[in-house]
Structure 1
Amino acid sequence: MESPSMDDLECGFVNVPDSVRVACYWYWLSGHISEEGIVKDLQAMRDAGITRAYIGNIGLKGGEYGDVRMFSDEWWRLLRVALKTASDYGIETGIFNCAGWSQSGGPWVTPEKSMRFIRSSSVRLNGGDFWNGIIPEYSDSMQLVKALAYPCEERNPDKSWTIVHNDGQETTLDMCMDDGQKVRSLIIRPSGRVMCHAELLADEEGKFRSIRKFIIDRTNFSTSVGFIPDAPVVISVSETSSDKFRLSLGKPEAIDTTSKITVTLSTEPMVERWPEKSLAKMYQRPDPKWDSYIWPLEPDYGGTDSAAVRSAQVLDVTGSVSDKGELVWKVPDGLWTLSAYYMQSTGMTNSPAPPEATGLEVDKMSRRHVGFHYDSFVGELLRRIPENDRRGLKVVVQDSYETGSQNWTDGMLDSFKVKFNYDPTPFLPVLDGHVVDNEDVSSRFLWDLRRFVADAVADNYVGELTRLSHRDGLTTWLENYGHWGFPGEFLQYGGRADEVSGEFWNKGELGLIENRCASSCGHTYGKKRIWAESCTSGKPAFTNYPGNMKARVDRFFTEGINASLLHVYIHQPYENLNPGMNAWFGTEFNRKNTWFCCMGMFTDYLKRCGFLLQQGMYVADVAYFIGEDTPKMTGPVTDGLPKGYSFDYINSEILMTKADVRNGRLVLPDGMSYRLLVLPEQKTMRPGLLQKILGFAKEGL
């Protein structure tokens, strides 16, 4: 890329081009909307130098709602006024792709178009006879995926105990087993919040021997961090026979004082942490670490044991199930498990949205369903409002991801087989934690499942919204990360959008990883403008102003941010009420704030910084490879990067398809280059990528 001359830089700095914009979220709260307020808001934005506004219709709980219901004739009229007035004032507009700031849903999304997961129900059958009945839990409303049968062994029932983990104290539970029983797994089900270190021990000739040490972490029971909110903690153990076991619970780091913990010792081998590995239970805090979804390679505890399911013995009996769920089947000799696998909605809804605009979240893995969602809202907007009245409408917005995970979609068995070259059908029991063949093979299947989900969310959700937006003359703007239940890979996810954004608050930790997520995506995927949702805040209200926000703004400019979106301009519908509409979130970037009349100085500063930072290429010396595991919201950084040097994260897609080596540097098509490629401390990598990186080394990197 040719560098601009000093004359060009000076001219652009003094007279910043119109293409360099300061944006804001423009929230319409809880039906409180007026035409007079819309016009005055836009006048105030224009005078303050805000030249892009993203309209979000937000519904807050606990407050009184206004008279304007979303999708009413009056709401459509006011939206038309807003888009036309903004166009007349030279303000570009964007629209959130649904009500609320997260994520993509509405009342038009029915369960079969929503985010879904696999659930199952099973019965045990004795062989040698015909079985004539309804498959487990069948109903007309269920979406049957498969009905499978596989041999199983006769085993003793699991034994369970209940313990109360006293607040602030270590606790011990002794558990007696019948002679000869082989314990192969430990299952822990807390009734409330608990986080602590734990250890399972077995009595051997009067002395307890440690079998496993692990962490119990069940601190968030929201469906935003998993579609099975109360999923158990499952630990695989080496086959152990003992009359007595002991569970030692360390001092809790978090606990509900009334929480009871049910502890089960099972003779069945179970896949270690299968709820986490299947996305049923996800990282429970808003700051997932680089390795939050990377697990140690566990020893094979069940590989040679007859208790493990054999993939070669799994029978697909779906073809014999009638459209009423009836199955007539000659059961082979022995004891068999018959399992029915269904798709079920996760139940997640778009939020925080007005009640009339709230509905299920659309399936993020289906182009067809995402297209239906887009047409139901953005498409309806384009049909209702004449093109000349919305000529300034440019952007379809997706805020940070906060709507939890899913792990299945329509036609996924066939798509999975094409992608990974094997049939996933025999491995469906793994989604309930059953070991198929051995634990290593079962965990590999779950790795492929998570990778499939991440790829599908990027391509079929973000990619499809971008494709449809382009078709209609629009672009997409995306925050390429998620604090609650994000199932994707942040670089790939953002790479499918036109523009990406990070985020930072005036105080606290939000921003420490989000902005590097955005800038690394922008640099590696060739995006010129890299935004940050800037200066977000919580309570107390009216305590922030440009002078105490500037340091945080400047900090994240140094991490690659070069465009500013202010959070938040709340629509002011009432002239007789001061200091106006407000909420618990955001700095008061609105005309009712006493210092807003001086905002032009601040936006001039932001624009001049943005102009300079958008020239040339960002200088990053090191590219940190984030690995291929998913989900992923950040990357690894090793200690020792000297001061004065910077870095980007890079993913396998860029390394495989765009990266090259020239003069000892890793080079990308748009001109970005790096002196070093740093690999994470991992023992696994897919063969194709390994060969690619070996090639880089041979070429002098």
Structure 2
Amino acid sequence: MKYKSIATLAFATTLSLTGSLEAKAQVLDNTKPWTFWYWMYGAVSKPGIHADLVGMKQIGLGGCYLMPIRDSKVRPEYGGQADQLTPTFWEMVDYAFQQADSLKLDMGIHISDGFALAGGPWITPAESMQKVVWTDTIVSVKSLRDLTLRQPESYQGYYEDIAAFAIPVKSMNVTKCYQPKHIQLLGDMSQNEKGTYRASKPASLVYDLGQIETVRSLTILPSENNIQSQRWVLKASNDGVNYWTVKEINPARQGWQSSGPGFTYAIPATMARYFRFDWTVDGSEPGSEDLDPAKWKPVLKLKDILLSGEAKVNQWEGKSGASWRVAEATTSEELTDADCIALQQVIPLQLKDNKIITKLSTKSKYYRILRFGHTSTGQMNATAGGGKGLEVDKFNEEAVDKQFDHWYKRFLDRPHGSVVKYLHIDSWECGTQNWGRDFAKEFKLRRGYDLIPYLPLYAGIPVESAEKSEKVLKDIRLTINDLVNDVFFERLEERGHIHWRKVTQESIAPTFIADGLEHYKYADNPMGEFWLNSPTHDKPNDMLDAISGAHIYGKNIVQAEGLTEVRGVWDETPAMVKPLIDRHFALGMNKLFFHVNTHNPWMDRKPGMTLDGIGYFFQRDNTWYQESRAMVDYVTRCQQLLQEGTPVVDIAVFTGEEMPSRALTPDRLVPMLPGIFGQNRVASEQVRLANVGEPMEESPVGVNHSAGIIDMKDWVNALHGYHYDSMNKDALLTEAKIEKGCLVMPGGIRYRVLVLPGKTKMDPSFKGYSAEVQTKIDACRRAGIIVIDQPYQQQDFAQYSLPRDVELPEGIGFAHRTSINQEIYFLTNQKNEVRDIEWSYRGGSRSKAHFEPYQSLFFICDKVDGKMYCIDPVTGDRELVELNSRTKVRTDIPLTPKTWQIEFLENGKKKVTKQLLDWSKDTDEQVKYYSGTAVYATDFKYNDKITSTQQIYLQLGEVRDIAHVYINDIDCGTAWTAPYQVHIGKALRKGKNTLRIEVVNTWANALNGAEKGKAPYAHIWTNAKYRMKGDQLLPAGLLGPLNILKYE
């Protein structure tokens, strides 16, 4: 059987599409993975730069994103001399650019210092992210003449007025908060010396107001962003014995940066003396990216609950854009029209020197004076160093240009600045803003009416009606979304393209009020992020935002910041992360960025500097880094094929019209597609969401969290042969064309099915679609598109002539791409077991396939000759799939040399042994705790005949952790993943053969020894704390057994 390299196949495929060698080379270069390259604390050296970049080149990376993080002031003990923006820093940048240029490595630069997000010392408070602030004063009409209005809060002295109003009120007490005369703690409730209430078992708080009062709203002030403090059943009583239920209080959807303002709940006007808050952990929802605080231990921690007689908009803090939240709409029962201010009651005021100069009617005895202005949010690019400063106003084009010019463009203007090919905008970690330059003007332009009279809504004060108040607040959020896209993202795309740079963006959610898909319209390469062994920090929604955003806006490349780990433990290997990478290939990623390659300025300290222990330690002084070339080549081969053609995705899921919004994770689709997901999934979701007993897990070491957090490893091929994308309103109305019963997107994706989930957790008050959306839905129906707006009970869409794209057994993930000449199927075994399967694709016959543990294969259906080819991206081998071909005969020949000579390169220790051994069990502590490369040498005889029709492999058995094989001094390749075997046919001779195997383990054992004062050799140092649990060492070395496998 004939084999040829996958590279040859990819070259041919590319030539058929591009027709030129030059285009082919450009495409193939884009398929190499990249890495994030962090410079920490100003500790940068030229020898370290050279070594880092040479290492990147040697292992086959295409480039890196250079991102300096913090400076020497934060960690002076590292002796950093290259703080950002100093002459030494630019000297190091110039050297790095020159070295990268000479090595033909490309680079990208972030939009600011650090990675969160876009700011600097050149941004003034007036040019920074803005928020609405106000003062609220009730005065008698008689005292207006002498009243000096307080100025709302300012930041560093910066404040600007927007408007001031007077509202006639009946008394001085309309905003009164009721102070309880007595608070009773029941059940498990306790209060510590700081005043924080705590409970972990059923508990209650009872407020005795001393007399009957009318309560219309309450505000919860959590401790430490605690979700349990937002879960109560509120009851009321007049005698403290007989209670009635007022409202069940549930948390708003909220992200990891949604703390800050409190959580205000509107309640039906309730007259009572006693208010009891009952809490139990039962019914707690497991955490998710849009309910981030629920990921942690379900313990109640509360600062205070404030009861008020004032009517407020339900959860106005999020609805006004002050924080990323989504909550239920205020009902007319909670907020009657009589509770709302009539628009004509909102009287504009003129101010001079903080005095009111507008003459007010004396018909009202009292006025509520509201003074609205804006100031800086005070948010900075937190992980920056010398370039640290205020975050730029995302609605101010001139300020955005200033940020671009003062940071990014300075890199382009350096010698060898042409090496910078990308402008990168990292994941959003700077909160949100609800005001900015010309915000009121832009609001009127986009929404068609004046915002100013409705400013009281920013303070939660309802205007006209509950419905009108909700509408205006939603319009505020829609305008925020419009401006961050039209000003910030679009302008940066323009500036990048003016300078011939491509723009990459990570997710804006769940921190900034926005549509999580729309901003990818302004990215050349949308980008998400996924984490390793870090359930609390993993971001499946980020990845689905990027994948769907790319697909609906016609972007071919989907990048991923991959393998970030919240607490690295130094046991990580390429084999460990392969299933995770493959799972994301199946989801739609096709360009991986390893997180993280941290610059180590020292040549004599290993493993050296890290991102304070965060990340997959993908850097030059990791033990196995040089051997990771095999993994990098694997990723490159996969990406070559996964960037070809167009993804095949059958289903589009509408994200709705709420703001903010995101892509839907697969668990959110189960209610709409129960038949597609199947009975087992429906049942398992019921169990997961019931969260009975609130099961917890520890992962990684020392991080305890809810066991019910969605993990994408449990959702492999969840729709049983179908893929879906999420589609937002913008793409549905402006990008999607209706053609031949499909929604066709700019990049060529054709959706046959449109799912309309309606009410979801991120759209909890859905009542119907807007006229323009409904018009498009109706057009889809008329065109024959399958529109699903009720739970779909069938197992597939075959009744609509849309059978499954692939038929696969459980635990096999897939991606499918189609091109002019080929159908490309990527199948990944996500189980740690050997599997022989049957599978089929739409319109094709059934085929058989053999998978080793965690193995992935490509199947290429050639549209020209009708043949199918199987490609193993680990080896690059390609073979013809023949349905009736003769099964190859395998012969296993045990390889049992008489002796092995083992040399431990880092400390010079040598051993001679008859048996393969786990060196972590050796009595010599310099061997027992050894981490690094050990060379196994022996010779053996091979007596069988060698022919050109045979395929001959050396299978190594158990390897801890990577092995590079040489036979007769011929390089036979690297075994880094199952089945840990290499081709040896080109090197094997009949008769005597020499065998050399270079085996590398992880740093874990050496760092364990160093922690105990038993380092196996000198100069072991890292700033990443050793975190392995317990005292157990990891197995190390070549454990075998070895076999020669012969196929003929």
So what's the TM-score if we normalise by structure 1?
0.90
Residue 481 of structure 1: CA displacement? 3.9
Residue number among 160, 180, 198 corresponding to 2:232 in the alignment: 198
Residues 324 and 660 of structure 2 are in contact (CA less than 8 Å); yes or no, is this contact kept in structure 1? no
What residue in structure 2 maps to residue 9 of structure 1? 13
Deviation string 1:482-508 (CA, Å, 9 cap, x unpaired) is 45x232212102221111112222224
Residue 74 of structure 1: CA displacement? 1.4
Distance 2:490 2:585 in 1: 27
What residue in structure 1 maps to residue 913 of structure 2? none
3-state SS in 2 of match to 1:434: coil
Residue 135 of structure 1: CA displacement? 2.8
Residue 178 of structure 1: CA displacement? 7.1
Distance 1:80 1:634 in 2: 41
Asked if 1:93 is matched to 2:104, the reply is: no
Residue number among 51, 61, 77 corresponding to 1:40 in the alignment: 51
What residue in structure 1 maps to residue 376 of structure 2? 345
Residues 380 and 391 of structure 2 are in contact (CA less than 8 Å); yes or no, is this contact kept in structure 1? yes
Residue number among 634, 641, 648 corresponding to 1:605 in the alignment: 634
Residues 160 and 263 of structure 1 are in contact (CA less than 8 Å); yes or no, is this contact kept in structure 2? no
Residue 241 of structure 1: CA displacement? 2.4
What residue in structure 2 maps to residue 465 of structure 1? 492
What residue in structure 1 maps to residue 177 of structure 2? 158
Distance 1:472 1:326, change over 3 A: farther
What residue in structure 2 maps to residue 225 of structure 1? 258
Asked if 1:677 is matched to 2:754, the reply is: yes
Distance 1:48 1:693 in 2: 50
What residue in structure 2 maps to residue 666 of structure 1? 743
3-state SS in 2 of match to 1:187: strand
Pairing 1:179-578 to 2, within 5 Å after superposition: 181-190=213-222, 194=226, 195-196=228-229, 197-203=231-237, 207-215=242-250, 224-226=257-259, 229=260, 231-251=261-281, 261-282=303-324, 293-296=326-329, 298-305=331-338, 307-317=339-349, 320-322=350-352, 324-332=353-361, 333-334=363-364, 335-354=366-385, 356-383=386-413, 385-386=414-415, 389-483=416-510, 485-509=511-535, 510-578=538-606
Paired amino acid for 2:29 = D
Distance 1:501 1:218 in 2: 24
Residue 315 of structure 1: CA displacement? 1.8
Gaps of 5+ in 2: 1-7, 18-23, 186-190, 192-196, 285-295, 677-718, 760-766, 786-1048
Paired amino acid for 1:539 = R
Distance 2:379 2:780 in 1: 44
Paired amino acid for 2:77 = E
3-state SS in 2 of match to 1:391: helix
Once superposed, what is the RMSD of the aligned Cα atoms?
2.9
What residue in structure 2 maps to residue 25 of structure 1? 36
Distance 1:511 1:190 in 2: 25
3-state SS in 2 of match to 1:42: helix
Residues 666 and 674 of structure 1 are in contact (CA less than 8 Å); yes or no, is this contact kept in structure 2? yes
Distance 1:329 1:132, change over 3 A: farther
What residue in structure 1 maps to residue 716 of structure 2? none
Larger mean Cα displacement after TM superposition, 637-646 or 239-248? 239-248
Residues 313 and 335 of structure 2 are in contact (CA less than 8 Å); yes or no, is this contact kept in structure 1? no
3-state SS in 1 of match to 2:626: helix
Distance 1:128 1:59, change over 3 A: closer
Asked if 1:54 is matched to 2:40, the reply is: no
3-state SS in 2 of match to 1:632: coil
Residue 440 of structure 1: CA displacement? 2.0
Paired amino acid for 2:236 = A
Distance 1:217 1:329, change over 3 A: same
What residue in structure 2 maps to residue 117 of structure 1? 131
Paired amino acid for 2:525 = E
Residue 190 of structure 1: CA displacement? 4.1
Distance 1:141 1:10 in 2: 57
3-state SS in 1 of match to 2:277: strand
Distance 1:662 1:351 in 2: 48
Larger mean Cα displacement after TM superposition, 597-606 or 474-483? 474-483
Larger mean Cα displacement after TM superposition, 553-562 or 162-171? 162-171
Residue 280 of structure 1: CA displacement? 2.8
Gaps of 5+ in 1: 284-292
What residue in structure 1 maps to residue 648 of structure 2? 619
Deviation string 1:214-265 (CA, Å, 9 cap, x unpaired) is 1368999x9x435xx2x33322122232344333233497799995543333
Deviation string 1:633-683 (CA, Å, 9 cap, x unpaired) is 332423433401101111111111121222211112331111111112232
Distance 1:429 1:645, change over 3 A: same
Paired amino acid for 2:565 = S
Distance 1:536 1:218, change over 3 A: closer
Distance 1:330 1:359 in 2: 43
Residue number among 172, 181, 203 corresponding to 1:171 in the alignment: 203
Distance 2:528 2:347 in 1: 48
3-state SS in 1 of match to 2:575: helix
Residues 330 and 466 of structure 2 are in contact (CA less than 8 Å); yes or no, is this contact kept in structure 1? no
Larger mean Cα displacement after TM superposition, 669-678 or 234-243? 234-243
So what's the TM-score if we normalise by structure 2?
0.61
Residue number among 142, 149, 168 corresponding to 2:159 in the alignment: 142
Residues 321 and 327 of structure 1 are in contact (CA less than 8 Å); yes or no, is this contact kept in structure 2? yes
3-state SS in 2 of match to 1:681: coil
Q: How many residues align?
A: 675
Distance 1:7 1:376 in 2: 42
- For the pair shown, the structure with the greater C-alpha radius of gyration is 2
Residue 76 of structure 1: CA displacement? 0.8
Residue 8 of structure 1: CA displacement? 2.2
Deviation string 1:44-74 (CA, Å, 9 cap, x unpaired) is 1111111111100012755734111211111
Distance 1:455 1:687 in 2: 20
3-state SS in 2 of match to 1:337: strand
Paired amino acid for 2:648 = V
Residue 192 of structure 1: CA displacement? 5.4
Residues 490 and 522 of structure 2 are in contact (CA less than 8 Å); yes or no, is this contact kept in structure 1? yes
Residues 33 and 593 of structure 2 are in contact (CA less than 8 Å); yes or no, is this contact kept in structure 1? yes
Residues 81 and 88 of structure 2 are in contact (CA less than 8 Å); yes or no, is this contact kept in structure 1? no
What residue in structure 2 maps to residue 689 of structure 1? 773
Deviation string 1:553-590 (CA, Å, 9 cap, x unpaired) is 11100111111111111112221222222231112222
Residue 282 of structure 1: CA displacement? 3.6
Distance 1:217 1:631 in 2: 12
Residues 133 and 328 of structure 1 are in contact (CA less than 8 Å); yes or no, is this contact kept in structure 2? no
3-state SS in 2 of match to 1:81: helix
- Residue identity over aligned pairs, in percent, reads 26
3-state SS in 2 of match to 1:520: helix
Residues 568 and 615 of structure 2 are in contact (CA less than 8 Å); yes or no, is this contact kept in structure 1? no
Residue number among 52, 67, 77 corresponding to 1:64 in the alignment: 77
Distance 1:372 1:308, change over 3 A: same
Residue 524 of structure 1: CA displacement? 0.8
Residue 181 of structure 1: CA displacement? 4.1
Distance 1:256 1:610, change over 3 A: closer
Distance 1:339 1:243, change over 3 A: same
